[in-house]
Structure 1
Amino acid sequence: MASLKEVRNRIVSVQSTQQITKAMKMVAAAKLRRAQDNILRMRPYAQRLNSILTNLTAQVGDDVVSEYAEQREVSRVLVIAITSDRGLAGAFNSNVFKGVNALVQERYAAQAAAGNVAYMAIGKKSHDYFSRRGAVVGNYTHVFGKLSFDTVREAAEQAMDGFRAGQYDEVVMVYNEFRNVATQIIRTEQLLPLVPAEPNPTAVQTSNVDYIFEPSKEEIVQTLIPQSLKVQLYKAVLESNASEHGARMTAMEKATENAGELLKSLKLTYNRTRQAAITTEILEIVGGAEALAASR
């Protein structure tokens, strides 16, 4: 059985850890509110931009062919893995790693065997993980330090330039989609080449709208497509950012609860140990007194 001093030291240590996890939960909650507001504002814009692009593409038909829609035989692949810069967020980062590994095994096993799968790591944890396992292009570990559209645009442009130059035949994103504080879902989305929009029978049909193109339909579509791709990646980063804070808040709350349960157990052990020590001392005193009385 541990001594009273050892149990007391463990209690102090667990109490300190509990204070840290409480503070981290509060910080994550404050950051989550801002991140959640950002993604809730971003989703309608991204959806509306994609809707406009879909409608315009339907209007112009085959008159405008984008270099970002070129379908090629998939020989080289770029996987954009979006994680966090820090840990202590439960399975947040490891789920992305599992998603990427499952994607490569299921869809790009031949390309991986040939060494033709590259990784773009957004987030320090992603960079640390994939730099030990394959080719990492770009260093975007600074994105979450000051998250903005400009910081993400650089990564999007690198992926787009690589696709146009023929360095990659497909570009895929893997990230955590934010649902709520306790729920994050791994999403795998193809960024390039552009995937034709599937017809939605419940959606309002706007393809027959008589658009007036100014300056020209070619220029409008060619401008909207790169912008839409950048917004799509930015939206994925915002989703991941909100998911990170939600996952860390949940993890720290659970850690605080576990620390509380451990404290109860340690205090019970401490009281039992103390009671045993007091009982032993009493027995020793009584035994000594009886020995003295017998010697007289």
Structure 2
Amino acid sequence: MTTDAMIRVQGLEKSYKDLQVLRGVDFDVAPGSIFALLGSNGAGKTTVVQALATLLAVDAGTVTINGFDIATHPQQVRESISLTGQFATVDDMLSGRENLVLIAKLRHLDNPGRVADELLDRFSLTTAGGRRASEYSGGMRRRLDIAMGMVGNPPVVFLDEPTTGLDPQARLSVWETINELARLGTTVLLTTQYLEEAERLADRIAVLHQGRIVVNGTLTELEALLPPAKVEYVEKRPTLEEIFLAIVTDTDETGGDETTSSVPTGTREDR
């Protein structure tokens, strides 16, 4: 355990009647870092996030966020955090800018319009700011959702499976947004089922299994848990995701669909 943790969780326990979901969860998150919490469905990831966000009472354990205990200073904790869940909470009837202005007003901030414009620029949504959120793509909606959570510049952000249901391009866009948050000093706790997401983003990775953190470390430390890699010479074929991204990126750059000419058009039987 470090002495300067932005988030500190010790002995966290939570049960629902006879079902014990958390059995003594411990971890620290350093300031300005990205901490990924991995686990299968039902492992308790969302329960951890809800507890840390003061949305769920726990049975035992202590949690401090930004120096405040969630049990004794819940209001100060809420003022220190932002929570973005698995589904975007934007108002589809409002424009992107209006969504941000609304949150700024609810937080009683000075000059809500200026706050909204700064966030639209920060999250690359300025040109779409006047459009209804219902017209946004999945990636744009998610970026707007995260931007709404950043109104007031909270030092800690919880992202609960933020790329669920997004296409590869949108997922990459959200990854860039998360990296930018950490670069600017925000502490990010990310829950995900996507191992590549944790690999690409996280400074530290913890695995939640059967209600406990069974491993916690950097990617290098986790790799050291397995036998050393063997060198083998194999033919590496591009993944379908790599092919998709190459095609759509080239099409975006040229403004057309020239890339489709290099893709075979025959049926399986033709080939």
TM-score range, shorter chain: under 0.3
Structure with the greater alpha carbon radius of gyration: 1
Give me the TM-score of the superposition, normalised by structure 1.
0.23
Give me the TM-score of the superposition, normalised by structure 2.
0.24
**Which has more strand, going by share of residues?**
2
**Which has more helix, going by share of residues?**
1
